[in-house]
Amino acid sequence: MDVVETIDLTKIYETRQIALNSVNMSIPQGCIFGLIGPNGAGKSTALRLIMGLQRPTAGTIRVFQEPMTLSTGHLRRRIGFLSQGGNFPADMTPITYLDLVGKLFGIVSSIRKPRLSALLHAMDLLQASSQRIEHLSSGQRTRLGIAAALMNDPDLLLLDEPTIGLDPEGRHYTLDLFEELRRKGKTIILSTHILPDADETCDYVGILNHGKLVFTGSVSDMKRLTLANTIDLLVEGEVELGLQAATVEVRGVQFERLGANTVRIAFNSREGEFISILSQVLDALARHGVVLKSIQPAGDLEDAFLKTLQEDRRKGFARALDSEDIMAQLGIYPPSNNPREGLPSLRSGSSDEVI
């Protein structure tokens, strides 16, 4: 069952900024879905629309197989939400804040009190539980936000940059918590630009670029699509000299120096020739004083992400044409060639800031 489904989801603000452009994605139950992309790509907008905090300009959103709207509060009661850089009441403590969140969800005291205590323990906030929130570190406030998002025992978690401000230990602990929640059947949408987090945790990813969903699928599928026939060599010795020789002696390969001791090799040859050509490369390197330390499949999610964005940029012209078609469908028309006519107009009956 798909917990979240979007169909041609589009969001345009009054300033004519296209935040999301006809996004279609389906997120199955019990998975961690990584929504990744550069800053300003539309990730936070997508989460707010899924949460029902804003109204889409066009398209539909279904959550738990029901349409999500501004008035479907019964759906939001099943969702936990962590906003990026969320604001907290400065004069409250973690205990009083979580107690307030529980009351707003209508959780009775006999359940609310043990739950907030367990969450403070789980998020390593017991020692800070009676401090004013304004005195907490950024990492502690992030962990408090995650605890608040879990206060209603949600079926769906929407987390906007949940590991920002966490130290390495806190980050590792938080990612382990997400894994445990998934094992309990929770569905998590994780918006992040920290790609190692998505690589380590997510089952599926969706890549947003300028509001357009340019890839959606499993993490492993994405890596296979973008880094086929590519390996990384960890080496020592006369690396530059060895690469110069291998470049001359071996055909059908491309070399890329990733660091002082890492060389990436992309094979242009047919699959059956892989072993033969790799042997030639290693022989050329060894004859010129290069010592091989390890061989491993190339790349991670960050490599795949960057390659996908590059491919999307190459398709920029086609995307621009698609955007014009969508704008026309929404009633947004570009300026006429007639200089007496005004700026583009948005034909909408709403005067709200969010459309």
CA distance 21 to 2: 21
CA distance 154 to 128: 25
Residue-level pLDDT at 233: 85
pLDDT digits (tens, 9 = 90+) for 306-354: 777 777 766 665 545 555 555 555 555 544 444 334 333 333 333 333 3
Residue-level pLDDT at 349: 36
**Per the structure block, which two tokens stand in for 303?**
């490599």
Residue-level pLDDT at 347: 34
Q: What is the pTM of this model?
A: 0.70
CA distance 152 to 61: 22
CA distance 319 to 316: 5
CA distance 57 to 289: 62
Low-confidence ranges of the chain (pLDDT < 70): 15, 86, 223-228, 269-275, 297-300, 313-355
